[in-house]
Structure 1
Amino acid sequence: MLTALLYGLGTGVPLVIGAAIGLRWQLPTAALASLMAFGAGTMIAAVSEELFEPAFHQAGALIAALALFAGAGVYVVANRLIENKLGPRALGWALMLGTVLDGVPENTALGVSLAGGGGLVLLVAVALGNVPEAISGAALTRDQHDVAGARTLWLWTLTAATLVLVTVIGNALSDNLSHTHIGIVQAFAGGATIAVLADSLMPGAYREGGWWVGLATAAGFLVAFALGG
């Protein structure tokens, strides 16, 4: 239980730190784009190694595929509703939505994975992905939608606390879940993560940083892959 709490804090605290940084300072565009791209690279490795691959073997190809598309579909539809309501200036809310929709199943999967001695790659990937999402999301929410800084920080702190809680709950329930159920959670998280990468994180990194952010993405993937090896 203590390990699950520490891992949960390892994913939640970066959200609060990132939101505080985004509200306090205006980071250079190149630096923020590099962080977003690096985090995207780590998340690509985590999806393949610690989310979809084990789900594919534990739940079977069909169930894993359905859960993957369900996770991606939920995020895509929810993100589309936000875009229709807020218009093209909805990126800040989209990043927070992505953090919740992929973070809850991801952290649940993280808590479950701890029972088998895994989870390190996923922890690193989520933590590194959360920082730039929170930095840019908090700043954009404040600047584009006139949301008070204190309220914005509180929203991201609440999101972080939710992720810590679901990590602990996932770990506590791991003994009562079948391999199929675990695989469904992992594949759903993988699908939501892929959708976040495609719809928000990677386009934002490219738009802000330009062609060279591909190198930062590759670096993030290499670091996470090496940790998993």
Structure 2
Amino acid sequence: MSTATLYGLGTAIPLLVGAAVGLRFDLPRTVLAALMAFGAGTMVAAVSTELFQPAFTSEGGLIAGSALMAGALVYVVADHLIENKLGAAALGWALMLGSLLDGIPENTALGVSLGGGGGVVLLVAVAVGNVPEAVAGAASMRKQPNFDVRRAMLLWTVTAVVLVLVVVAAHAAADNIPDRSIAVIQAFAGGATIAVLADSLMPEAYREGGWWVGLSTALGFLVAFALGG
């Protein structure tokens, strides 16, 4: 099995595990909050060290910043449309959407970075962040009328498969992707990730856990940053 496939599975399996847990079990609110906050911290590390910083260094503030804002805008608009359609049930779908919107460019960046031996921080951040994101999203889906656990799990499985294929395809095409395109993809992923954190993951973590979740967020950042050092 190729390295790219293993890295892809490293991001997808935590997503499926989180979705399965969220669909079938009621975790204590404090545990769920700690997981979400820790995952948010790892994602902050990924944005700062492996997504936006390389783009800013290579392409400058205008291009990198524009891509960052575009990623945030796409997620915010899509999240708003989902919320208007689903109301109180929107969080689960918003988090699954976030898994795709930030996961596709993140996993593209991950697949490309494998050729240079990088990607450790990004892999850790995505893997750890996917667990609470999926747990929270799947658990919220259970609150919908006419909820179907098999259909929900199928949707999360399709999402996971797509993310694996993205890593494999990006790694295979790495030599043909211009460096400037890679930088834009990374910055776009950073923007989508920031929007997911601000709109969905961190507010839900605070709502479920309260004031102390800031410590769990800081710990997640520290772990991911140290692993990539």
TM-score category by the smaller chain?
A: over 0.9
Q: Aligned runs of 1:50-199 on 2, under 5 Å? A: 50-199=50-199
| Residue equivalent to 2:207 | 207
SS in 1 for 2:13: helix
Q: Unpaired segments of 5 or more residues in structure 1?
A: none
Question: How many Å separate the matches in 2 of 1:67 and 1:147?
Answer: 37
Aligned pair count reads: 229
Check conservation: 1:59, 1:179, Cα contact below 8 A.
Answer: no
Structure 2 partner of 1:3: 3
Taking the aligned partners of 2:145 and 2:186, their CA distance within structure 1 comes to: 34
The amino acid that maps onto 1:177 is: I
Q: Deviations over 1:69-102 (max 9, x none)?
A: 0000000000010111111331111101111100
The worse-fitting range, judged by mean Cα deviation, of 132-141 and 31-40 is 132-141
Give, in angstroms, the shift of residue 55 of structure 1.
Answer: 1.0
1:177 Cα deviation from its structure 2 partner: 1.4
Mark the CA change 1:146 to 1:139 in structure 2 (over 3 Å): closer, same or farther. Answer: farther
CA distance in 2, matches of 1:163, 1:188: 16
C-alpha separation in 2, matches of 1:145 and 1:50: 40
Answer whether contact 1:105 1:185 (CA < 8 A) is retained: yes
- Distance across 2 between alignment mates of 1:110 and 1:145: 37
Q: In structure 2, the residue corresponding to 1:227 is in which secondary structure?
A: helix
Return the alpha-carbon distance in structure 2 between the equivalents of residues 145 and 213 of structure 1.
Answer: 31
SS at match of 2:137: helix
**Cα deviation per residue 1:139-173 (whole Å; 9 max; x = unaligned)?**
21122243200111110010000000001111111
Distance in 1 between residues matched to 2:151 and 2:144, nearest whole Å: 14
- What runs of 5+ residues in structure 2 fail to find an aligned partner? none
Q: Is the 8 A contact 1:59 1:181 kept in 2?
A: no
Question: How many Å separate the matches in 2 of 1:2 and 1:178?
Answer: 23
Give TM-score scaled by structure 2 length: 0.97
Looking at structure 2, the residues matched to 58 and 166 of structure 1 have their Cα atoms a distance apart, in angstroms, of 23
Secondary structure of the 1:60 match is helix
Name the residue aligned to 1:31.
31
For residues 206 and 149 of structure 1, the distance between their equivalents in structure 2, rounded to whole angstroms, comes to: 27
2:14 equivalent in structure 1: 14
2:12 aligned partner, one-letter code: G
Matched AA of 1:101? L
Whole-Å Cα distance in 2 between the matches of residues 200 and 30 of structure 1?
Answer: 17
Residue 88 of structure 1 aligns to which amino acid in structure 2?
A
Q: CA RMSD in A?
A: 1.0
Please identify, of 79-88 and 191-200, the stretch whose mean Cα deviation from structure 2 is larger. Answer: 79-88
Code of the residue aligned with 1:216 in structure 2: it is S
Return closer, same or farther for 1:40/1:145 CA change in 2, 3 Å cut-off. farther
Q: C-alpha displacement at 1:178, in angstroms? A: 1.5
Identity between Structure 1 and Structure 2 (%): 70
Q: Which moved more, 1:86-95 or 1:149-158?
A: 86-95
Cα deviation digits, residues 2-33 of structure 1 (max 9, x gap): 11110000000111111111122110000000
